Amino acid sequence: MPNIAQVLFNRIRSHPHLSAVSYGTQSISFAELGERTQRLAGALRAQPGLNTGDRVVLCMENRPEFFELVFACWAAGLCVVPVNSKLHPREVSHIVTDSAARAVFTSEALIDDLAPVLGQLDVPPFVCVVQSQAYAALLSATPLACIDVPATDIAWLFYTSGTTGKPKGAMLSHRNLMVMSWAYFADIEHVSPGDTKVHAAPLSHASGLYALPHLFAGGHQIILSGFEPDLIFERFERHRNITFFAAPTMVIRLLQSGGASAPHPGLRTLYYGGAPMYVSDLQRALDVLGPRLFQLYGQGESPMTLTGLSKQDHLGSGDAAHLARLGSAGTARTGIEIRVFSEDGLELPVGEVGEVVTRSDCVMAGYWNNEPATRSALREGWLWTGDVGMMDERGYLTLRDRSKDLIISGGSNIYPREIEEVLLKHPAVLECSVVGASHPEWGEEVVAFVVRRPGAELSEQSLDSLCLEHIARFKRPKRYRFIEALPKNNYGKVLKTALRQQLSQDSAGDGAR
Ligand code: AMP
């Protein structure tokens, strides 16, 4: 298998005049992308003097330089470490230190906050702002053609989004990313030269990873600087054959916006994932956006590729089987093995709940510089995902929760997602999240954090009756907390750890009074 950058160079050769990357009013063709990439590759080897395997942090808001830097690093045999621009400078500095990055590319918007922390590191990296003269100078270096590297070389160090503890760097090889790209073509869609991908979510994660197959096929990447529903809908009107990624919370924001109900003929595929999509939200999305939705279940450790719920799987009559399918994460993606294991590593029968494990050429080599975490995640050839779920007789996987989010109350297992699905049936509930709070008698008790729909009336009694109608009594939340918004990380995932912390601080406060 070639250096993954070579796949892009093939497309540059076959379709030099097509638009490759656009941002605002700027646009570059595949030929220009190739030229810039090769010059940057030459510069990275020559000026900061980077060597094969060195890590390069890319920390910038969504900007057009992102892709040329990713491919320049790969052409030069280097490893990229994309970092979400909204992280705190201290978190960025943790990633720079942990990955021992030798170079950091960032933007004007971030440099003032980053420079002081990066300057204090024991081995300060080479730092370059992509809008600077220094960057322009790199673009006049002698071009470097793509060098050969083994397919097992690490191409992308993917720092997990850290909804718990410090992020760890999943080591993704050229082969992992190629397998991810093949599975995209096999399961999600065929991409033709000139098709469009609109990016409004951070390029350092799902949106950017799936830009790879799209670019390999000659797709045009349109980068928006942030998630603004009106701007997104405007792009849906302007282009054709559009693919778009949104985390579930972003899909909800899209649906809430006025532009959602337009027909959007240009939108071909909206793929969503990265966090649970509740059935009632999904039904609304299907009503509004039509049969264009693909759900992916993945994690940094097996990038974007574990199971998928196809567009066809989303269709149905609304009967029980259809609703169960909508509540699932679909079936194993092409080339990916998925099983459900008991704690002692035995495969569980259909319908039994256990930990989701996977085995494939998409799975990471391990965590960077973290042998204990690698040993606990990769066991006897399987990646233990930390997610709890069950498989039905047709191979559809229904996820329950992260194993650490499971609530154990009076010795019974309670899966928060089941309760969240019920609460969201209430028309006045905009968002909710259920967690366990420690309880002297029961071990844990169920607490629901609820965000009201603006202007709607909502009482604890009405939520309680809804739960009584749909789930066992012991699973009902014992307490409700009405809040303005759920805490989320930069990728839109709800931070249950923050909710649990809030509860334990409150009970410590109660004890002190
Ligand atoms: P990350 O590695 O930061 O992308 O987080 C991956 C985690 O997000 C998975 O292990 C799941 O817990 C969660 N996740 C991803 N996709 C889905 C999905 N379709 N439904 C529910 N949870 C998901």
Burial class (CB in 10 A: 0-12, 13-18, 19+), 236: buried
Residue 352: DSSP 8-state: -
What residue's CA is closest to ligand 1, atom 15? 274
- The answer as to whether 434 is a domain residue is yes
Confidence category of residue 512, pLDDT binned at 50, 70, 90: very low
How much is the average pLDDT of 309-315? 97
- The answer as to whether 444 is a domain residue is yes
Is-contact 314 340, C-beta < 8 A? no
Q: Give the CATH number, domain containing residue 4.
A: 3.40.50.980
Q: Is the pLDDT of residue 56 over 90?
A: yes
Query: Last residue of a domain, which of 149, 164, 196?
Result: 149
C-beta 274 within 6 A of ligand 1: yes
For the record, the structure tokens of 56 come out as: 């390069």
Q: How far is the CA of 300 from the centre of ligand 1 (A)?
A: 9
Question: Which of 242-251, 303-312, 390-399, 406-415 has the lowest average pLDDT?
Answer: 406-415
Residue among 271, 297, 355, 357 whose CB has most ligand 1 atoms within 8 A, to mutate: 297
- The answer as to whether 133 is a domain residue is yes
Dihedral of CA atoms 29, 32, 34, 36 in degrees, nearest 10, equals: -140
Residue 275 sits at the vertex; the CA angle it makes with 439 and 307, to the nearest 5 degrees, is 120
Tokens 């054709």 found at: 240
Ligand 1 atom with the smallest distance to the CA of 296 is 19
Q: How far is the CA of 34 from the centre of ligand 1 (A)?
A: 34
Tell me the per-residue pLDDT of 289-302, one tens digit each, with 9 for 90 and over.
Answer: 999 999 999 999 99
Cα separation, 323 vs 364, whole angstroms: 33
Cα separation, 428 vs 417, whole angstroms: 18
Residue among 399, 400, 403, 488 whose CB has most ligand 1 atoms within 8 A, to mutate: 399
What single letter denotes the amino acid at residue 299? Q
> Helices (DSSP H) in 146-190: which residue ranges?
174-187
What single letter denotes the amino acid at residue 382? W
Strand partners, 338: 358
CB atoms within 10 A of CB 413: 13
Full DSSP string of 211-274: HHHHHHTTPEEEE-SS--HHHHHHHHHH-SSEEEEE-HHHHHHHHHSGGGGS--TTEEEEEEES
- The answer as to whether 235 is a domain residue is no
Q: Is the pLDDT of residue 258 over 70?
A: yes
Residue 18: DSSP 8-state: S
Confidence category of residue 2, pLDDT binned at 50, 70, 90: confident
Q: How far is the CA of 289 from the centre of ligand 1 (A)?
A: 23
Cα separation, 281 vs 421, whole angstroms: 9
What residue's CA is closest to ligand 1, atom 10? 299
Q: How far is the CA of 328 from the centre of ligand 1 (A)?
A: 13
Beta strands in 60-168 (DSSP E): 79-83, 103-106, 126-129, 154-159
Bridge-based pairing of strands 196-199 and 55-59 is unpaired
Question: Which of 84-98, 121-135, 424-438, 495-509 has the lowest average pLDDT?
Answer: 495-509
Tell me how many domains the chain contains.
2
Span between the terminal Cα atoms of the chain, in Å = 65
Return the pLDDT at 91: 84
How much is the average pLDDT of 64-76? 98
What residue's CA is closest to ligand 1, atom 23? 275
Q: Give the CATH number, domain containing residue 490.
A: 3.30.300.30
Query: Last residue of a domain, which of 118, 149, 180?
Result: 149
- The answer as to whether 412 is a domain residue is yes
3-state secondary structure of 415: coil
Cα separation, 438 vs 310, whole angstroms: 39
Q: Is the pLDDT of residue 185 over 90?
A: yes
For the record, the structure tokens of 118 come out as: 């990066």
Is-contact 451 431, C-beta < 8 A? yes
What residue's CA is closest to ligand 1, atom 9? 299
Q: Among the ranges 150-159, 219-228, 268-277, which has the highest mean pLDDT value?
A: 150-159
Dihedral of CA atoms 372, 376, 381, 387 in degrees, nearest 10, equals: -140
For the record, the structure tokens of 164 come out as: 């718990």
Residue 375: DSSP 8-state: H
C-beta 164 within 6 A of ligand 1: no
Quote helix, strand, coil % in the chain, to nearest 5: 35, 25, 35
Q: Is the pLDDT of residue 513 over 50?
A: no
3-state secondary structure of 173: strand
Over the Cα atoms of the chain, what is R_g?
23
Strand partners, 104: 57, 127
Strand partners, 382: 379
Query: Last residue of a domain, which of 88, 120, 149?
Result: 149
For the record, the structure tokens of 157 come out as: 């160090």
**Average pLDDT of the chain to the nearest whole number:** 93
For the record, the structure tokens of 314 come out as: 């989303």
Tokens 């003929």 found at: 265
Return the pLDDT at 177: 98
- The answer as to whether 186 is a domain residue is no
Return the pLDDT at 163: 52
Domain, as residue range, for 112: 1-13+26-149
C-beta 275 within 6 A of ligand 1: yes
C-beta 329 within 6 A of ligand 1: yes
Confidence category of residue 510, pLDDT binned at 50, 70, 90: low
C-beta 276 within 6 A of ligand 1: yes
What residue's CA is closest to ligand 1, atom 3? 161
- The answer as to whether 490 is a domain residue is yes
Cα separation, 476 vs 153, whole angstroms: 49
Tell me the per-residue pLDDT of 119-174, one tens digit each, with 9 for 90 and over.
Answer: 999 889 999 999 999 999 999 999 999 999 999 999 999 998 655 567 899 999 99
Cα separation, 61 vs 224, whole angstroms: 10
Question: Which of 11-15, 295-299, 485-489 has the lowest average pLDDT?
Answer: 485-489
Q: Would the pTM of this model clear 0.85, i.e. be above it?
A: yes
Q: How far is the CA of 385 from the centre of ligand 1 (A)?
A: 9
- The answer as to whether 288 is a domain residue is no
